[in-house]
Amino acid sequence: MFFGSDNTSGVHPKIMEALARANDGYAAPYAGDRWTAELTERLRDMFQAPDALVYPMVSGTGTNAALLAAMTPPWGIVYCHKTAHIEVDERNSVPFYSGGAKLKLLSGTGSRMAPEELRDAVIRDSGDDIHASPPAAVSLTNLTEFGELYRPADIAALAEASRLPLHLDGARFANAMAASGATPWEMTRELSALSLGATKTGAMGAEAAVLFDPAFKEAFESQRMRGGHNLSKSRYISAQILAWLEGDLWLELATQANAMGTRLAKGIAEIGGDLAYTAEGNLVFARLPRKMHIEAKAKGAVYHFWGPNRALTGDPDEPLLARFVASWSTTEADVDALLAALAD
């Protein structure tokens, strides 16, 4: 009953096999290998972006920070939702990498930015006042940190509202794609940059920085080098993502994770839980009485409480918010066992 994170699941066998094959023989370092060249062409074709630049990375935080630092000057503003990973979970890495750029947090609706609020914020910050920081970029997360989905029309509305370069934190990009039914081009056509994450959906540790706007090339490559992310043995990252993409394995794994998230959300609602956000992918946030959590934890269920109240001691009927995350390897039996543990 492991629902703590999709980072806790293992590596898909096909990706392990691809790593073993890539380990045979010698290859040029620093992305000069044939796997990275093939990955670049594969992603250009997938996104219908013939000029896109692709960089193998190992860290989602490093990818986000290096891309955004390339997209804003040290005195600029990056707009994001107040729950964005770059704000809550990356220890001020964007201002650190960029040399001072600030994150401006928006409340939005649920865990998503609202176009009207973004437009108003950009208008307020625009102008020639030397005392103020100017708008530079927008960063959104899909799926969001609370499992909600931006569809292509939502991203287009944010692009129109801001008229700024858009970055997408795609740590769960595969889950967003599987949930939306959109094509990769539809989901990314408004973007200047994408942090493409495979680690949470079956890879050992593989991310890719995708620059749709080559104008940011020099700045990104400098930030990547200075931040220690210019990988010597890039073939091992590229080989993972190639295997992940082969035969649409990435969508198959994300579809499985999303289906288990849907099954879990439905089951939690049936046993009296209150869903805090719409479960559109593999993340479920729900409030359940403390006594249910006590029972489930005693039976070995692994998941995390969310928010300020996380104590297992107290009023047994008090609802506590928790996050449950299904992974590519989560089964129906895993979900049903958790539901049984909560309901007993």
> DSSP state, 217?
H
219 lies in the same domain as 325: no
Query: What CATH number is attached to the domain comprising 140?
Result: 3.40.640.10
Give the pLDDT of residue 217: 98
- How many other CB atoms are there within 10 angstroms of residue 300's CB atom? 11
Angle of the 332-343 helix axis to the 249-270 helix axis, nearest 10:
20
At which of 248, 268, 283 does a domain end?
248
Please give the tally of structural domains in the chain: 2
> DSSP state, 215?
G
Please report whether residue 27 resides in a domain.
yes
160 lies in the same domain as 290: no
243 lies in the same domain as 254: no
Distance CA 62, CA 171 (A): 12
Please report whether residue 4 resides in a domain.
no
Please report whether residue 36 resides in a domain.
yes
265 lies in the same domain as 195: no
141, 88 contact by CB (below 8 A): no
17 lies in the same domain as 31: yes
Please report whether residue 286 resides in a domain.
yes
Q: How many separate helices (H) and strands (E) can be counted in the chain?
A: 14, 11
Q: Which domain holds residue 94?
A: 13-248
Polymer length of the chain: 344
277 lies in the same domain as 226: no
Give the pLDDT of residue 344: 83
206 lies in the same domain as 337: no
At which of 205, 227, 248 does a domain end?
248
286 lies in the same domain as 261: yes
Q: What is the pLDDT along the chain (344 residues), one digit of tens a residue?
A: 999 999 999 999 999 999 999 999 999 999 999 999 999 999 999 999 999 999 999 999 999 999 999 999 999 999 999 999 999 999 999 999 999 999 999 999 999 999 999 999 999 999 999 999 999 999 999 999 999 999 999 999 999 999 999 999 999 999 999 999 999 999 999 999 999 999 999 999 999 999 999 999 999 999 999 999 999 999 999 999 999 999 999 999 999 999 999 999 999 999 999 999 999 999 999 999 999 999 999 999 999 999 898 999 999 999 999 999 999 999 999 999 999 999 98
Distance of CA 328 to the CA centre of its chain: 15
Distance CA 151, CA 32 (A): 35
Q: CA torsion angle for 7, 2, 320, 114 (degrees, to 10)?
A: 30
Please report whether residue 147 resides in a domain.
yes
Residue with tokens 């959590």: 293
Query: What CATH number is attached to the domain comprising 258?
Result: 3.90.1150.10
Please report whether residue 335 resides in a domain.
yes
Give the pLDDT of residue 163: 98
Please report whether residue 8 resides in a domain.
no
Give the pLDDT of residue 83: 97
215, 193 contact by CB (below 8 A): no
pTM over 0.95: yes
At which of 248, 283, 312 does a domain end?
248
> DSSP state, 302?
B
Give the pLDDT of residue 95: 97
Please report whether residue 7 resides in a domain.
no
Half-sphere exposure of 75 (CA within 13 A, CB side): 7
125 lies in the same domain as 85: yes
205 lies in the same domain as 271: no
51 lies in the same domain as 96: yes
268 lies in the same domain as 287: yes
